[in-house]
Copies of this chain bind each other. A is one copy, B any other.
Amino acid sequence: MSNHNYHMEFSFDIMMTSIKNLRLQCEFFWGNILNNKLMDITHYFDIMLIEKSRLDPIQENARKLQHTIEAWRKDEISEDVFMKKTKVVCSQQKNFQLQVQCREHMVHIDEPQLNGGDDTAITPVEMLLCAYASCLEVSWIVYASVFDAKVDSITVEIEGEMDRRYILGKKEYPARYNKIDVVFNIKSEESMKKLNHILERVQKTCGVGGSLHPDIEKTFSIRLID
């Protein structure tokens, strides 16, 4: 080995050790940052949407529910225990600016200037679509993890269509969306078969989607992005 080669190899070793150290430092750093504790980095790169530990309370809830169902089947308890109540209170602030309180949170509503409002927030019918899009996204986050799908990111795009003639108050033009198109932009290397399987589950367990009128024509599509 020439002096020159030795020098090269030595430098290469130092570089590799540095890179390895840097990688270890990065893993430690990101592990701490992302999880507030040291985590299994490999596992993190498998499940990008959420830490698995975030599903622990959900699984715990499901276990408790299962026990409650067994007790109910044995006639030990009333069906009422399954009923979860949610309360909101809406009040007017000024003009069409409203605020709605739900637990300790507050959301705001307004109308655009074209409808006499001040356009400080979204409208109620827009909020309906926001509720739907976010409900689908939450379900995707949960079920991508449950089904161990390698999903890097997902956004939910919704376009709703309403027939403006509903303000006539006539039966043939009901005050509702007539069409809602949902597109899931998914960054993932999973097969479309697997993604469609998850989508099926997502649709079944989306509490907002299930609360929508069956006459609303709905389409769902997955758009794979790079």
Contact = CB atoms under 8 A, between A and B. Distances in A.
Given A58-B115, A113-B57, A138-B96, A84 B130 contact: no
A225 to B, nearest CB: 12
Interface of A: 49-51, 54-58, 61-62, 65, 69, 82-92, 95-96, 98, 100, 102-103, 105, 107, 109, 111, 113-117, 121-138, 141, 153-169, 174-178, 201, 204-214, 216
A178 B82 CA distance: 12
Most buried by B among A201, A206, A208, A212: A208
Nearest to A171: B204
A36 B59 CA distance: 56
A61 to B, nearest CB: 7
B54 A90 contact: no
A21 to B, nearest CB: 29
A138 B27 CA distance: 52
A154 B96 CA distance: 12
A16 B214 CA distance: 65
A121 B212 CA distance: 22
Given A130-B107, A205-B167, A91 B155 contact: yes
Contacts of A167: 62, 65, 205
Contact of A90 (B51, B57, B137): B137
B69 A129 contact: no
Contacts of A214: 213-214
Max chain B CB contacts within 10 Å: which of A84, A91, A100, A102? A100
B87 A157 contact: yes
Contacts of A65: 164-165, 167
B207 A176 contact: yes
A50 B201 contact: no
Given A164-B82, A201-B169, A207-B176, A131 B127 contact: yes
